[in-house]
Amino acid sequence: MRKLFFSIFLIGFSTSIFGQYTDILNSNQPGNSQSAYALGKKVLQFEGGLWVENRKHTHTHTNMFISGLNYTVRYGYFSNKLEFMLQGALIYDYTQQNRFITTTQSHMGFYNHTLGAKYLIYNPYFENKPNLYSWKANHSFNWNNMIPAVAIYAGVNAFPNERYFYSGIAPFSPKVVLALQSHPTPRTALIGNIIANRFTTQYPEWGYVLTLTHNLDNGRFSIFAESEGIQSQWYSDHIIRLGGAYLFTKDIQVNIDLGASWKDTPSRYIALLGFSYRIDKYDKFLPQEKK
């Protein structure tokens, strides 16, 4: 399930010991953040979601209904630390403006389409040995668990739709993400992303995503809370998301996300139903023991 903690809970091993591959699906859903860990060599994964959103802008007197499809294709190649990723979103919007008269318009197009790669550059590992003389020491919080794994993502935005950004936007632009991930407890994952998007163009965008995910006792359900900030010349926002995920099998997961913004220029209310599916060929590429 999301951010590797299901593997920690179900098989009892830290991802730091065996690299990034896990026996159970490692999805970036629920939420919008990227895990620091890759899928593992020769693992192909599809992640996506159908979502709806309502936006109301008090200054422009507009009411916009949006529906869309998010899609992500991830593939681990060459190393357990490296993965390639294709991300995008196809959306439809219907906008109603109420001033002196009511006008409507609708549009459909790709909101984004980005191809990139992520590489794990630092993976901490601390062996927590039991203290035979202190119950308190064995049950107190270990601050070493807050030291994050660190990964860097670099990608290219290709042919963005001007309708959903700004006129004159460049057909190609860079995107870079610094991904941090720690596990404060065996069932909890804390993910942080720092994002620089289109920073070589006239309209750069900066942002962050902070996600906290917790696995419930049954080992299949998880819940999450997320904060996302966006800042650019024309648009800034702060979005809060809550939701959960359920692991049907070790290769299939569904999730539900609910989100809202803090402001009314525009106000945003978002609901998403997500799905993740893994094709796991990792075992076929492990070296075979000699008899």
What is the pLDDT at residue 271?
A: 97
Residue 29 · residue 222 · CB < 8 Å: no
So where are the chain's domains? 2-128+136-285
Q: Is the per-residue pLDDT at 19 higher than 80?
A: no
The proportion of the chain whose per-residue pLDDT surpasses 90, expressed as a percent, equals 52
pLDDT digits (tens, 9 = 90+) for 30-40: 999 999 999 98
Residue with tokens 């919080």: 141
201-255 pLDDT, tens per residue?
888 999 999 999 999 977 789 999 999 999 988 888 999 999 999 999 999 999 9
> Are 80 and 21 within 8 A, CB to CB?
yes
pLDDT at position 84 is 96
CB–CB of 89/71 below 8 Å? yes
Question: Which residues sit opposite 117 in a β-bridge?
Answer: 84, 154
* pLDDT grade for 66, boundaries at 50, 70 and 90: very high
- Each residue's pLDDT tens digit, 124-148: 875 555 555 555 555 566 777 889 9
For the chain, state the CA radius of gyration. 21
- The pLDDT of residue 202: 86
| Tens digits of residue pLDDT in 40-60 | 888 999 999 999 999 988 888
Residue 18, pLDDT score: 41
Q: In this structure, what DSSP letter does residue 20 have?
A: S
CB atoms closer than 10 angstroms to residue 206: 15
- Strand segments, DSSP code E, in 22-81 are 43-57, 62-76
CB 190 within 8 A of CB 212: yes
pLDDT class for 9, splitting at 50, 70, 90? very low
pTM equals 0.84
Region 2-128+136-285: CATH code: 2.40.160.40
Helix (H, G, I), strand (E, B) or coil at 77: coil
